[in-house]
């Protein structure tokens, strides 16, 4: 569609005006990227002879354009009214980064998360990854696809929304916090012990065969590494995809996602393409075809979805109904897109108002983020997760944020802020740099104005991260 071109030009302007100031790895920056991917993939799937699908394409592009315009206006208003610029993490982090010790509270939550994850797989009766791996090693074909669907969308309800908070959020997040601590300290025993919850977390993430949770956590690690180190191209940031790529290759083969026995690398590339440019777009298009003849729900479907947080309540069955229109069976989920969900609940004007509201909220969060002088690893893990959950919100309603772990990440952010300074320490290299190296240069405080001299405040914490 030709309308995609002005939206892309508007996105380029948005980058020049706003994103260039604070970077892509922010709630606003990631949201723009995810929405452009959704818009581009949706346009490729639309049937130009279908009035419903054509209208949906215009709706998506209009929502993205509205978001970009309001986001730019909000950025300029905030910058003018406060006479400040957002705090940018660039060549180095503008704050001191400290590591959280394995306190009894951290260890306890890790243990509880491991138990909750184990109980979930025990209730399901299997791990799709383990079953697929056993079949691959023994040469016996396993119907991993059916097992994968049954584990989270089958007739038996295993409370996946609750289990995911431990399996997809708390266990991997705290396992990384623990591993980062021990790998910044001498001693082989601690590092070996830290690898146990980390290995279990990876196994849990890919255990049900769902790709979304694993990709989202990899992205969370990229954002976390960037915030902790302060450089996009640092070895720690690049280490995440280098470690994650082999896991994706193995999981693709084990979980039977390699089409016609194709090469794992080609199959993984195809999976990534479908993940970002086809799956959610096809699901959103099918959902709009399904809901467009139905009356506007005025928030009723969102309420039904949010009631799914109650024990024993499945919530809305819309995603299952749409899945049935695509594949002939309700055992699976095909949720509407974010804009399609808003349209079903609040109509066309609701979509435009929702896009404008999201722009103001995400831009404000981005503009005001990370203004303190010191953060610890638990806080940054929570902030990174919150950034990714909000920034990649492209399908479903508010229940998607809950299922993706927004509340859990906010809890980690709050918990990290309550941890005593005595229970944290500088990274080994940063501590050495600050104690034996030359005096660190003072950074400009938030609120500097171009053309004005910047006073140096005594007693500030040294900028230790990224050294």
Contact present, 70 and 355 (Cβ < 8 Å):
yes
- 85's tokens: 């610029």
The three-state secondary structure class of 264 is helix
- Identify the CA nearest to 70 among candidates 122, 31, 123, 115: 31
pLDDT digits (tens, 9 = 90+) for 349-393: 999 999 999 999 999 999 998 888 899 999 999 999 999 999 999
Provide CB contacts within 8 A for 108, sequence distance 6+. Answer: none
> Is residue 256 pLDDT above 90, yes or no?
no
pTM for the full predicted model = 0.85
Least confident range from 26-40, 142-156, 267-281, 287-301: namely 142-156
Closest CA to 338 of 400, 407, 289: 400
Count of other CB atoms within 10 angstroms of residue 36? 16
d(CA 356, CA 100) in angstroms, rounded, equals: 38
Lowest-pLDDT choice from 32-46, 84-98, 153-167, 248-262: 248-262
- Give the integer Cα–Cα distance in Å for 358 and 70: 9
Q: Is the pLDDT of residue 327 over 90?
A: no
Residue in the block written with tokens 């075809």: 289
What's the pLDDT score for residue 146?
Answer: 75
- Rounded Cα distance between 61 and 357, Å, is 16
pLDDT-derived band at 106, boundaries 50, 70, 90 = very high
Among 74-83, 131-140, 455-464, the range of highest mean pLDDT: 74-83
Q: What is the pLDDT of residue 303?
A: 93
Asked if residues 65 and 7 have their Cβ atoms less than 8 Å apart, the reply is yes
Q: Is the pLDDT of residue 245 over 90?
A: no
pLDDT for the residue 241: 74
pLDDT of residue 446: 37
Angle between helices 406-418 and 377-391 (to 10 degrees): 160
pLDDT of residue 262: 56
The answer to whether the beta carbons of residues 255 and 128 sit under 8 Å apart is yes
Pick from 37, 30, 29, 27: nearest CA to 4: 37
Residue 143: per-residue pLDDT? 73
pLDDT beyond 70 at 156: no
Cα angle: 419, vertex 423, 425; to 5 degrees: 115
> Which range scores top for mean pLDDT: 180-194, 232-246, 266-280?
180-194
Could you give the CA distance from residue 153 to residue 139 in angstroms, rounded to a whole number? 28
Tell me what percent of the residues of the chain surpass a pLDDT of 70: 81
Q: What does the pLDDT read at residue 12? A: 97
C-alpha closest to that of 341 among 20, 108, 82, 56: 56
Average predicted confidence (pLDDT) for the chain: 83
End-to-end CA distance of the chain: give it in Å, rounded.
47
Contact 239, 280 (CB under 8 A): no
pLDDT digits (tens, 9 = 90+) for 419-466: 999 999 988 665 555 444 444 444 343 333 334 444 444 443 433 333
The answer to whether 223 and 89 are in contact (CB under 8 A) is no
Instruction: Indicate whether 218 pLDDT > 80.
Output: yes
Beta strands in 106-163 (DSSP E): none
Look at residue 462 in the predicted model and tell me its pLDDT. 36
Residues for the chain: how many in total? 467
- The contacts of residue 448 (CB under 8 Å, 6+ apart) are 84, 85, 454
Q: What percent of the chain has pLDDT over 90?
A: 51
- Asked if 381 and 173 count as a contact pair (C-beta separation under 8 A), the reply is yes
Which carries the bigger pLDDT value, residue 382 or residue 314?
382
């Amino acid at each position: 569609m030709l309308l995609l071109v002005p939206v892309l030009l508007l996105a380029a302007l948005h980058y020049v005006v706003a994103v260039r100031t604070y970077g892509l790895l922010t709630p606003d920056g990631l949201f723009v990227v995810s929405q452009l991917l959704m818009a581009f993939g949706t346009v490729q799937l639309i049937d130009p002879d279908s009035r419903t699908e054509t209208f949906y394409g215009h709706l998506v592009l209009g929502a993205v354009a509205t978001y970009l315009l309001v986001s730019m206006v909000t950025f300029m208003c905030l910058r003018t009214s406060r006479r400040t610029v957002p705090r940018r993490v660039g060549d180095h982090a503008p704050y001191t980064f400290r590591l959280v010790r394995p306190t009894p509270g951290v260890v306890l939550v890790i243990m509880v998360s491991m138990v909750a994850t184990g109980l979930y797989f025990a209730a399901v009766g299997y791990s799709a990854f383990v079953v697929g791996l056993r079949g691959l090693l023994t040469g016996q074909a396993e119907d991993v696809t059916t097992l994968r669907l049954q584990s989270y969308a089958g007739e038996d309800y295993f409370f996946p929304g609750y289990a995911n908070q431990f399996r997809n959020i708390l266990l991997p997040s705290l396992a990384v916090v623990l591993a980062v601590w021990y790998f910044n300290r001498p001693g082989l025993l601690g590092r070996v012990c830290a690898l146990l919850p980390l290995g279990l977390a990876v196994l849990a993430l890919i255990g049900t065969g769902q790709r979304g949770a694993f990709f989202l956590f990899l992205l969370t690690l990229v954002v976390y590494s960037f915030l902790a180190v302060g450089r996009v191209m640092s070895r720690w940031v690049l280490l995440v995809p280098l470690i994650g790529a082999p896991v994706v290759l193995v999981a693709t083969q084990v979980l039977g996602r390699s089409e016609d026995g194709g090469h794992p690398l080609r199959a993984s590339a195809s999976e990534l393409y479908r993940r970002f440019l086809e799956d959610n777009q096809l699901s959103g298009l099918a959902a709009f075809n399904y809901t467009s003849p139905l009356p506007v729900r005025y928030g009723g479907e969102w309420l039904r979805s949010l009631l799914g947080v109650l024990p024993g309540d499945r919530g809305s069955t819309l995603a299952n109904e749409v899945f049935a229109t695509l594949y002939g069976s309700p055992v699976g989920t095909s949720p509407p897109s974010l804009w399609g969900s808003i349209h079903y609940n609040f109509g066309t004007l609701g979509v435009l108002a929702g896009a404008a509201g999201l722009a103001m909220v995400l831009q404000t969060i981005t503009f005001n983020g990370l203004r303190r002088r010191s953060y610890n690893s638990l806080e940054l893990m929570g902030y990174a997760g919150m950034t990714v959950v909000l920034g990649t919100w492209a399908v479903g309603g508010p229940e998607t944020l809950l299922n993706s772990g927004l509340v859990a990440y906010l809890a980690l952010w709050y918990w990290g802020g309550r941890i005593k300074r005595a229970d944290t320490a500088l990274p080994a290299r940063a501590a050495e740099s600050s104690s034996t190296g030359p005096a660190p240069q003072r950074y400009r405080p938030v609120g500097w104005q171009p053309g004005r001299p910047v006073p140096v405040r005594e007693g500030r914490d040294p900028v230790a991260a990224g050294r």
